[in-house]
Amino acid sequence: MDSRRPVLELVDVVKVYRAGEVVTWGLRGLSLRVYRSEFIAIMGPSGSGKTTLLNIAGLLDRPTRGKVYIEGVDVSRLSDHWLARLRNRYIGFVFQQFNLINRLTVLENIELPLIPRGIPRQERRKRAIKALLSVGGDVSWLPKKPLQLSGGQQQRVAIARAIVGGPYIILADEPTGALDRRTARLVIETFVKLNKRGQTIMVVTHDPEVANCAHKIYQIRDGKIAGIKEPDPSRCILSTVKP
């Protein structure tokens, strides 16, 4: 048994959605531990519970039953106010459709997680530039609007926004789903580099070539972890798609 304390732990988590008399099961007693500096992939068919898992792990939704721990602290029943604070401080999100705000500049998008913390403007700018450069971005992007960038550039901006606050874990929902293969390769290369620097990453994906770049592949089915696979690095997108 691993004696380390997980960064994120879900224990016997059940999620039930009710609409009148209709009951839909999202998760059925799912347990999962994610440790510091791990890179894990979550795979499963549509409707298996991947999105529900990500929402609960990211403190965007609450379990019907079960416990959620962040760095050993039970956050399952905290108020919405405290959940929002924890989410801002400890979790970074990357989405398939980037979720950038098109009326804001790249700089303003990356700075967003820092504003609720009361960090002064100059310090926010400094951290935003550092985050963008760390994911292979360019300072020439800072004054541009997201739609002036390519899809791959927008995803790098989204990753910079996710890491700018120093989160414990990055949760990525199909981060390559809207990208061509070469651009997807660049994005996964960015995740791998961040992970080698110590960043903990959990990626939900349908793409086996993305999943095979992780340390572990968790198979989810019918709201439960159905198995854990060792990845095959030869089938990682970094090996199968040329730069």
| Structure confidence at residue 88 (pLDDT) | 92
Predicted model pTM: 0.93
Q: Domain for residue 167, yes or no?
A: yes
Q: Domain for residue 172, yes or no?
A: yes
What is the CATH number for 105?
A: 3.40.50.300
Q: Domain for residue 6, yes or no?
A: no
| Structure confidence at residue 5 (pLDDT) | 86
Q: Domain for residue 26, yes or no?
A: no
Q: Domain for residue 47, yes or no?
A: yes
> Phi first, then psi: what are they for 74, rounded to 5°?
-70, 115
Supply the range of the domain harboring residue 195.
37-64+78-240
Q: Domain for residue 191, yes or no?
A: yes
CA distance 130 to 137: 10
CA-based nearest residue to 210, from 195, 229, 225, 188: 188
CA distance 138 to 184: 18
Following CA atoms 112, 114, 118, 122 in sequence, which dihedral angle do they give, to the nearest 10 degrees? -90
> Phi first, then psi: what are they for 220, rounded to 5°?
-115, 135
| Structure confidence at residue 1 (pLDDT) | 45
CA distance 161 to 107: 9
Number of separate domains in the chain: 1
CA distance 30 to 130: 37
Q: Domain for residue 71, yes or no?
A: no
Q: Domain for residue 140, yes or no?
A: yes
| Structure confidence at residue 3 (pLDDT) | 52
Average pLDDT for runs of 10 along the chain of length 243: 80 94 93 96 94 94 94 89 92 93 97 94 96 95 96 95 95 93 94 96 96 97 95 96 88
